[in-house]
Amino acid sequence: MAKPYIHGHHASVLRSHSWRTVENSCPHLIPYLNSPSLKILDVGCGPGTITVDLASRVPNGSVLAIDPSSAVVEKATKYAEEKGVTNARFQVGDIFDWKEIEGVEEGSFDIVHAHQVFQHLQDPLGALKEMKKLTKPGGVIAVRDVDYSAITWYPEIDGMREWLDLYIAVAKGLKCDPNIGRRLHAIAMEAGFPRSDIEASTGTWTFSTPEELEFWCGIWAERTVQSNFKKSSIESGLATEEDLERIVHTWRAFEKKEYGWFALINGQIICHVK
Ligand SMILES: C[S@@+](CC[C@H](N)C(=O)[O-])C[C@H]1O[C@@H](n2cnc3c(N)ncnc32)[C@H](O)[C@@H]1O
């Protein structure tokens, strides 16, 4: 179930994930980081910057972070070492195969967290059911994912719509839902949570200053031609090399817009496990 991952782990992809913190990526979870001794599971941790931030907020507790990619697990481990964080452990692992992961047991975590993971899964409902099994009664599950169709920007420039349509088509071709952010609460209901045990909210990311635009557009310009996204676009017949080159130019042009503004909306849920 962990494959295929639309982005892969090219440097441009990891750069976009490495900017992430608890504050900018899981604000919905902050009210539940209310004890220094919580035990947290971070599912699909990527390069681990959110994991390390979570660990620093539970100094007497621990965070176990799993990801099927050994390359990112290695990177995340190094990042935690550099930050001097000793209560985070990173392990190669898939949420669907959690029984194979040392230290993962049913009902053993106060918080089970997944950020920008469900959009890459062919079976997000199955993943949430597994996460539910791993959460202690009285604990919470926190999930957040973007909604690609709700992304918006200013000014409208040639090619940006083409990029978004292509991204959505490639993700759907991989049998994933790029708009899953809008229905996380519905998936939770399907997983057996009563509506009253689910908090649904949204959080946004905005890129507008020259530095923010350089960061965000640069990442997408590189991703478009260097990550797994290129391979998937071409192999699926949804784009040619020329189409992708045109999209790179679009990102480079947008980056230079002094009054550029790019905004993403993320769906967020907290599920209370009884
Ligand atoms: C978009 S990245 C998010 C990384 C991190 N949570 C963050 O926000 O910085 C999605 C991650 O989910 C991982 N992933 C994909 N399928 C998974 C699965 N079945 N179980 C656990 N992790 C998975 C990928 O390897 C990838 O590193």
* Among the listed residues 206, 205, 204, the one whose alpha carbon sits nearest the alpha carbon of residue 260: 206
Q: How many residues does the chain have?
A: 274
75-84 as b/e: b if 16+ CB within 10 A: bbbebbeeee
What DSSP string describes 82-93? HHT--SEEEEE-
The residues, any chain, with a CB within 8 Å of residue 267's CB and separated by 6 or more, are 144, 145, 146, 147, 180, 181, 182, 183, 184, 185, 200, 202
Distance (Å, whole) CA 2 – CA 66: 12
Task: Tell how far the Cα of 44 is from the centroid of ligand 1, in angstroms.
Answer: 3
Domain tally, the chain: 1
Residue 100 has pLDDT above 50, yes or no: yes
Distance from Cα 249 to the centre of ligand 1, integer Å: 28
* 100 within 8 A of 29, measured Cβ to Cβ: no
CATH number of the domain that 253 lies in? 3.40.50.150
Residue 6 lies in a domain: no
The CA angle 134-31-145, to the nearest 5 degrees, is: 60
Q: How far is CA 187 from the centre of its chain?
A: 17
Ligand 1 centroid distance, CA of 72 (Å): 9
- Among the atoms of ligand 1, which is closest to the Cα of residue 127? 19
What is the rounded CA–CA span in Å between residue 100 and residue 117? Answer: 20
Decide: residue 41, CB within 10 A, 0-12 exposed, 13-18 middle, 19+ buried: buried
What is the number of the ligand 1 atom nearest to the C-alpha of 95? Answer: 20
Phi–psi pair at 64, nearest 5 degrees: -105, 125
Q: For ligand 1, pick from 63, 67, 116, 219 the residue to mutate: most ligand atoms within 8 Å of CB.
A: 67
Please report whether residue 1 resides in a domain. no
Kindly report the average pLDDT of the chain as a whole number. Answer: 94
Cα–Cα distance measured from residue 97 to residue 2, given in angstroms and rounded to the nearest whole number: 10
CA of residue 157 to ligand 1 center, whole Å: 31
Nearest of 34, 91, 82 to residue 58 by alpha carbon: 34
Q: If you count DSSP H runs as helices and E runs as strands, how many of each does the chain have, helices first?
A: 10, 8
Rounded to the nearest angstrom, the distance between the alpha carbon of 63 and the centre of ligand 1 is 16
The whole domain housing 86 covers 11-272
Ligand 1 pocket, CB under 6 A? 1-2, 5, 17, 20, 25, 43-46, 50, 66-69, 72, 94-96, 115-117, 120-121
In-domain check, residue 108: yes
Compute the distance from residue 152 Cα to the ligand 1 centre, in Å. 24
| Residue 4 included in any domain | no
Strands 62-67 and 152-154 turn out to be unpaired
Do 270 and 28 form a contact (C-beta atoms < 8 A)?
yes
- 240 falls within a domain: yes
User: Taking residues 125-133, what's their average pLDDT?
Assistant: 98
Asked whether residue 5 is assigned to any structural domain, the reply reads no
For 13-63, the DSSP string reads: HHHHHHT--HHHH-GGGGGG---TT-EEEEES-TT-HHHHHHHHT-TTSEE
pLDDT by residue (tens digit) across 152-180? 999 999 999 999 999 999 999 999 999 99
User: pLDDT tens for residues 230-248?
Assistant: 999 999 999 999 999 999 9
Residue 117 C-alpha to ligand 1 middle, in angstroms?
5
> If you take atom 10 of ligand 1, which residue's CA is the nearest one?
117
* 84-95 pLDDT, tens digit each: 999 999 999 999
pLDDT at 226: 84
Tens-place pLDDT, residues 29-72: 999 999 999 999 999 999 999 999 999 999 999 999 999 999 99
Tens of pLDDT, residues 170-228: 999 999 999 999 999 999 999 999 999 999 999 999 999 999 999 999 999 998 988 78
Kindly state whether residue 97 falls inside one of the protein's structural domains: yes
In a domain, 265, yes or no: yes
Give pLDDT, residue 166.
97
Instruction: Give residue 11's pLDDT.
Output: 60
pLDDT tops 80 at residue 12: no
| Predicted pLDDT of residue 18 | 72
- Nearest protein Cα to ligand 1, atom 9: 17
